[in-house]
Amino acid sequence: MKPVQISNGTKCPKCFKLNFWKTKDGRLKCKNCHYIFTPKPNPLNVPNEILSEIVSEFLLGHSTNIILERIDISKYKLLKVLTFLRTLTAKDIPDNLREIIKLDSGNFNLNNEIKKPIIGILCKEEKVYAKVLSNIKPEDLKLFLKAQKEKEPIEHSENWQKYIGLALKGRFYKLAPLENKKYQIDSLEAFWGYLKKKLSAKGGIRKEKLPLYLGEYSWRYNHRKLTLKEQEKLLLNLLFQYFEHKAR
């Protein structure tokens, strides 16, 4: 038997060790407990070649049905991979935004008057980040909307508030005007236009899935200047880096 070490997240199902011998029929034998098993290609249990094809179709924006017509995979596994890709893109936050993000994710329940999610959009240096907000109090929201309606100046105590806008019930509001920073304002509005179009094209997204789609569309927008091949390479690198991290 040939000694091997797998770098795609494979662990012994019994003792969770990482060192194996490879048998003649392609199975793995754990060096620690001698358990023999057939390894999964990765934690998603989908061949890497198929994963590459799914990433390509995902970046092209093809629907689940179209991908199923083009790739030999079950609908269950495909949906699992697509959800994982969206989760991965949602976590790939631009470096210049990491230090100023102070918003919680998840669902919220403000009051009976506000039944639709509030989306916070952060934009700085052409990079964006969008998330469902859960930490806004009803009274704060009412004061904010009143100030917007009456065009009153809004006090902002923290630096990140200069670069943020709120989307509520299909309308977009800037948290604070930026003096001599017209480019930033235009960038916020440009991304909101892009995001609104993408969400409308979906024809309805379940509330629990919305954070994933916001992450996906933010990622696409941040990397819109890359070619499709460059985007594929970047997303596949994120994917395999995650697998390697799981293997540690």
pLDDT above 70 covers a percentage of the chain that reads 72
pTM as predicted: 0.73
Task: Give the tokens for residue 224.
Answer: 């819109």
Q: What is the C-alpha to C-alpha distance for residues 84 and 230, in angstroms, rounded to an integer?
A: 20
Q: What is the mean pLDDT of the chain?
A: 79
Please tell me the predicted confidence (pLDDT) of residue 113: 44
**Contact at 8 Å (CB) between 86 and 208?**
no
Query: For 194-204, what is each residue's pLDDT tens digit?
Result: 999 999 998 87
Q: How distant, in Å, are the alpha carbons of 62, 120, 133, 157, 188 from that of 142? A: 40, 16, 15, 18, 22
**pLDDT at 185 exceeding the cut of 80:** no
The pair phi, psi for residue 103, each rounded to 5°, is: -110, 140
- Rounded to a whole number, what is the distance in angstroms from the first to the last CA of the chain? 24
Q: What are 2's strand-pairing partners?
A: 22
What are the boundaries of each domain within the chain? 2-39, 95-204
CA angle 74, 79, 80 (to 5 degrees): 100
Q: Is the pLDDT of residue 64 over 80?
A: yes
* pLDDT tens digits, 143-181: 555 555 555 444 444 555 667 788 887 888 776 655 545
Residue with tokens 């392609």: 26
Give the DSSP letter string of 214-239: HHHHHHHHHTTTS-HHHHHHHHHHHH
